[in-house]
Amino acid sequence: MPQHAPRGYGAVFAVREFRFVFAAHLLSLLGVVVSEIALTFLVYDLTGSPLLSALTFALGLLPYLVGGTLLAGVADRYPARRVLVVCDLLCALCVGVMVLPGTPIAGLLALRCAVAAIAPVFTGTRMAALTDILGEGDLYVLGRSLLRIVSQSAQLAGFGLGGVLLAVVPARGAICVTAVTFLCSAALLRFGTADRPPHATARSGYAGAAGPAGRHGGSLLRESLGGARLLLGDRRTRALLLLFWLPAMFVVAPEALAAPYADSLGLGPAALGLMMCAMPVGHIVAELYVGTVLSPRARSRVVLPGAALGLLPLLVYGAEPGLGWALAALALSGAAAAYVIGLDQWFVAAVPEELRGRAMTLLTAGLMTLQGLGMAAAGAAAEFLPVHQVVAGAGALGTLCCLVLVREAHRTGPHGTATEARGRTGRPRRSRPRRRRRSVRPKGETVLTRE
């Protein structure tokens, strides 16, 4: 690569297609966050029910499991650009119906579920498409990092934007903004990204590949569930998925209980806002540092320590700390989550190309579902125990689980495959190649058997 060529995050932005994906991601994220606030406000305004208002917000997480398991095959079965554009258009349609004055409360909740069920398919397809746009090496890792940073930042900005919009326009008017952002995202992806064949056709003999007549073999449901079974049945892939999921499940406890904890300390709304922002800010700063300063090999080395120790700062809650110590603990736990930069590369290396879309969709669905379960479990525990003990307990139990999981991930290795030298596509040349033996099931689905 020439000396004047951009490096780090600059090299990612130098890829034209990624710039369109990035802009579409930013627009749709801001729209989703604004719609969540506006729809929650609208339901409360129509019903006066705190339960239905809370349920409206929770429905943004629960359908991820359904969409991520039953519809995951879409990500590999059809061209990525088509899937992404159709998902955006379907979401815009659902949001457009929400705006209609005659839509009943049950209809609003059902449409909220529909949008949430589509989300993991969209996210998984986009994550798999990044490997086509940026390659499978360092550019992909940094591209994923940028999208995560945008996700964290958009949540902070989106809540503020949603509050401002609701102050000047009705709730239905604020929801209209989401429909526009989905349509803009669809246009950016349609005209800014290339049309590529689906991943399922990348390997001949695969059960979901298109046949001579162009028809897809097997049912979508069977492909989706079969892909999940293959991925979770592989020891290495299962360990990596859990490395994404389990720390995130426990780390949400202090955020889920931020309001009651602030109330127990006699703190006001400003302190509550700081507590809600501390973890995302810590994550953004740490991820920018890791992505900018550390080499790919160094990022790989911090994965296991980060996953193992990231929840330890939450033990400070056992002493019922004041605002300052609580903010420090939250920021440190957020910073530790930057280990996922290296974990992204391990995951791409472990998953066969023909399963990549389903793998990314399953990853997204499991992450959101377990975060929702973690919030629910923390809330349930706080009904019987003091809030500070619940948060400290989540840190202790989560650390024990993560230590076991880190040991499993280490044993299933390899975990140091990133290299410094890569070409434009970012495809890695492994210094310690993995030995694989491919076997084919009777139905034609590829299985990885590691020696």
pLDDT category at 4 given cuts 50, 70, 90 is: low
Per-position b or e across 363-396, b if 16+ CB within 10 A of its CB: bbbbbbbbbbebbebbeebbeeeebbebbbbbbb
Q: Residue 361 pLDDT more than 90?
A: no
Can you give the pTM of this predicted structure? 0.74
- Highest-scoring range by mean pLDDT, 44-58, 165-179, 311-325: 311-325
pLDDT > 50? residue 51: yes
Sign of CA dihedral 339, 146, 237, 412: negative
Nearest to 427 by CA among 135, 197, 83: 135
Lowest mean pLDDT among 235-249, 255-269, 284-298, 387-401: 255-269
Instruction: Read off the tokens for 367.
Output: 């992450």
pLDDT tens readout for residues 209-265: 333 333 444 587 787 788 888 888 889 999 999 999 999 999 988 888 887 888 888
% of the chain beyond a pLDDT of 70: 80
Confidence category of residue 423, pLDDT binned at 50, 70, 90? very low
More confident residue, 264 or 446: 264
As a whole number of Å, the CA-based R_g of the chain is 22
Output the six-digit token pair for 213.
């007549």
Quote the Cα angle for 84-11-129, to 5°. 20
Confidence of residue 174 (pLDDT cuts 50, 70, 90): confident
Take residue 106 and report the two structure tokens written for it: 């049950």
- Other Cβ atoms closer than 10 A to 211: 8
Sequence-distant (6+) residues with CB within 8 A of 401 are 246, 250
First to last CA, the chain: 36
Predicted confidence band at 449 (pLDDT cuts at 50, 70, 90)?
very low
**pLDDT value at residue 41:** 77
Asked whether residue 444 carries a pLDDT value surpassing 80, the answer given is no
Check pLDDT > 80 for residue 422. no
Locate 76 and state its tokens.
């590999």
| Exposed/middle/buried for residue 187 (C-beta within 10 Å: 0-12, 13-18, 19+) | middle
Mean pLDDT, the chain, integer? 79
**Which is more confidently placed, 128 or 60?**
128
pLDDT score of 304 more than 90: yes
pLDDT band per the 50, 70, 90 thresholds, residue 162: low
CA atoms within 13 A on the CB side of 227: 34
What pLDDT digit, counting tens, does each position of 306-329 carry? 999 999 999 999 999 999 999 999
At residue 447, the pLDDT reads: 35
In DSSP terms, 439 is beta-bridged to 447
Assign 3-class secondary structure to 56-115.
HHHCCCCCHHHHHHHCCCHHHHCCHHHHHHHHHHHHHHHHHHHHCCCCCHHHHHHHHHHH
CB 348 within 8 A of CB 138: no
Residue 124 pLDDT: 84
For the chain, how long is the longest CA-to-CA vector? 69
The alpha carbon dihedral of 42, 46, 49, 55 has a sign of negative
Share of the chain above pLDDT 90, in %: 27
Mean pLDDT, range 275-293, rounded to an integer = 89
The span from the CA of 87 to the CA of 120, in Å, is 10
Does 434 score more than 70 pLDDT? no
3-class DSSP assignment, residue 210: strand
pLDDT digits (tens, 9 = 90+) for 55-64: 676 666 667 7
Across the range 141-168, mean pLDDT stands at 76
Q: What is the mean pLDDT of residues 72-86?
A: 86
φ, ψ for residue 437, nearest 5 deg? -130, 115
The per-residue pLDDT for 428 is: 37
What pLDDT score was predicted for residue 251? 92
